[in-house]
Amino acid sequence: MARMLLQLKDSTIGKELMMDIHIEHVIEKKSAEEALKNRLRLKASVDVVHWLTFQACAFRGRDETSNSKNRGNFIELLKLLASYNDEVSNVVLENAPYNSKFTSGDIQKEILSIVANKVRKHIRNEVGNSYFCVMVDEARDESKREQMGIVLKFVDKDLLIKMVF
């Protein structure tokens, strides 16, 4: 068997076969590394969306180009995360591939949609079949910008009155 492998290794077909096996191994290893980098990059973006959402902060800025002094809350917070963690720093923003930065407005909206669905599901599970009330109020500020507040009041399974803002 060993002699056959040596003969195969020395032949042209054998060299091509060994090269193909080597290339497949390299591709698998690179794919696994890229998958880990993509997961870390996505996790950082999800964490930023989560924080900005629960703090009721705006995501985008007026000028998000790389030479802008303030690129918007999302990118600035991502930069802050990267400054504290070298692993994150090596995979986000300028160190990310052009086609998978996970910082576009569409990606932010998709992540936000997933978070919103989880919150809605949690509220539905908590309210269940109990009685509830929805209060909505709207006001305009001096710049004629409308602001809306929504409050959900309900009685939970322990007969306690709860409110969700």
Q: Are 33 and 26 in contact, with CB atoms under 8 Å apart? A: no
Q: How does pLDDT run across 106-126, given as a tens digit for each residue?
A: 888 888 888 888 888 887 887
Domain count, the chain: 2
In this structure, the answer to whether residues 76 and 123 fall within a common structural domain is: yes
Of all residues in the chain, the percent with pLDDT exceeding 70 is 78
Residue spans of alpha helices (H) in 1-85: 2-10, 12-54, 73-84
In this structure, the answer to whether residues 8 and 18 fall within a common structural domain is: yes
Q: Which of 114, 98, 92, 94 is nearest to 45 (CA)?
A: 92
In this structure, the answer to whether residues 123 and 142 fall within a common structural domain is: no
Full-prediction pTM beyond 0.75? no
In this structure, the answer to whether residues 140 and 150 fall within a common structural domain is: yes
Q: What is the pLDDT averaged over residues 4-19?
A: 52
pLDDT for res 148 = 83
Q: Which domain holds residue 132?
A: 128-165
In this structure, the answer to whether residues 53 and 101 fall within a common structural domain is: yes
